Each structure stands twice: as structure tokens, then as C-alpha cells.
Amino acid sequence: GAVVSQHPSWVICKSGTSVKIECRSLDFQATTMFWYRQFPKQSLMLMATSNEGSKATYEQGVEKDKFLINHASLTLSTLTVTSAHPEDSSFYICSARDQGEELFFGEGSRLTVL
Amino acid sequence: ILNVEQSPQSLHVQEGDSTNFTCSFPSSNFYALHWYRWETAKSPEALFVMTLNGDEKKKGRISATLNTKEGYSYLYIKGSQPEDSATYLCAPVRAGNMLTFGGGTRLMVKP
């Protein structure tokens, strides 16, 4: 199956700093990628849809200025958590579709903001 | 936002036991249902994509059924093995081809 790689797996940062998470499709081109967030004991929640060459589409309640998404190429989408605060500590995971309906996921990134 | 319920939340079984769990979702405006297996420290992996009422899909010892009229899907594992230990996620598809994930069922199979 298709492979999606996400980096970094773990990141710890100080409050007020920005953190960038990368999501790459390694063996296919992804015009659309999806970013999810998962808080402890909760389900994966879609944050935004990342569209190559255009603006991301954010879900209701997700601050677009807080979570900057850039999808500059067909194989790379980045999520930048700006001015991170402890409440942004969470598990972030990306996914993409290849040619079928199923999603291929990255490994996820655990963010801890001190 | 769709209300997707998975039960049970967690399940401990002995190796060799067969098991099943449930995904419930709103039956209106149904497009498709996905099942994923998520092993610890790995990426979620697609098991099935189901679209038709009465659909039954099988992959090895794992099978799934779908009832779109009443809004539920069952996932069955026959003769559970320790390597089946994972969290199983279901996700109905809503308008715009967006998935809404349930909370998952965490399965632990003891050798």
C-alpha cells in the first residue's frame, strides 16, 4: 500500500514557540491531505483538509491562524502550531488518499508544550 | 458532526477466542463506512471500505458486516491471535468525502 511519513514523532517545546510537523506521501502524489488531532481517550478529530496549491479548509472550531497548513507540493503538507500553549499538547496525525477510498496515515506526532 | 459510537471501548480475550465489536452511526445520508486497525506505535491501516447495505467483507480471520438502514457495522475476528491486539476504528463517510472516526475498540489478546 501507499506510504505516508510524518515527522517528527515526538516534539517538546516551550510555551509561545512554534512547531512544524511534516507529512509526506512517499510513493504517490496527494493533492489532498488531512490533519487530525487526538486528545487522550478521545477519537481522531479532523482539523483541516490540506489542498495542494490552495488554502486549507478548516473544520469548525479550528483556528486557522493558530494551525497553519501549507501544501506546497504534491507530496508534502506541513502543519505549524503557532505560539503553542500547553492546551495544544496533543497527538497530531496526517493522512492522504492514493487512488482508492481508504486513507493512508502517517505515524503521528506527539506534541508536548511545557 | 456525526455521532459515531463504538462498543465496547476495550476488550480482553484469550488467544483462540472469537470476538466481535460494534460501530453505530446515523443511518441518514450514508455514503460509506471505513474500518481501520491501529497497532501501538504504528500508523492506522485500512481494513475495509464498505458501501452497500448487507455488505460483508473478509480479510483472513477478520470480517465485517454493514447495515445502513439501522446504522451499524460489526467487526468479527475469528480465533484471535496476540498480533490482533490493536485499536479498531470505524469511520462513516459524510458529505464531501470526509470521515468521522469513532472512539475505537481496544482489543488485547492474551497468549
| Ordered per-residue pLDDT tens for chain A, 114 residues | 799 999 999 999 999 999 999 999 999 999 899 999 999 889 999 999 998 888 999 999 999 999 999 998 999 999 999 999 999 999 999 999 988 889 999 999 999 999
The distance of A61 to chain B (nearest Cα, Å) reads 12
CB pairs under 8 A between A and B: 46
Dump pLDDT digits (tens) for B31-78.
Answer: 999 999 999 999 999 999 999 999 999 999 999 999 999 999 999 999
Give me the residue label for grid cell 516534539: A11
**CA distance to A110, A112, B71, per residue, from B26 (Å):** 31, 35, 6
Residue B1 has pLDDT above 70, yes or no: no
| Residue A20 burial (10 A CB sphere; 0-12, 13-18, 19+) | middle
Give the number of other CB atoms < 10 A from CB of residue B22: 15
Cβ–Cβ < 8 Å for B29, B88: no
Closest CA to B10 of B82, B93, B109: B109
The distance of B29 to chain A (nearest Cα, Å) reads 18
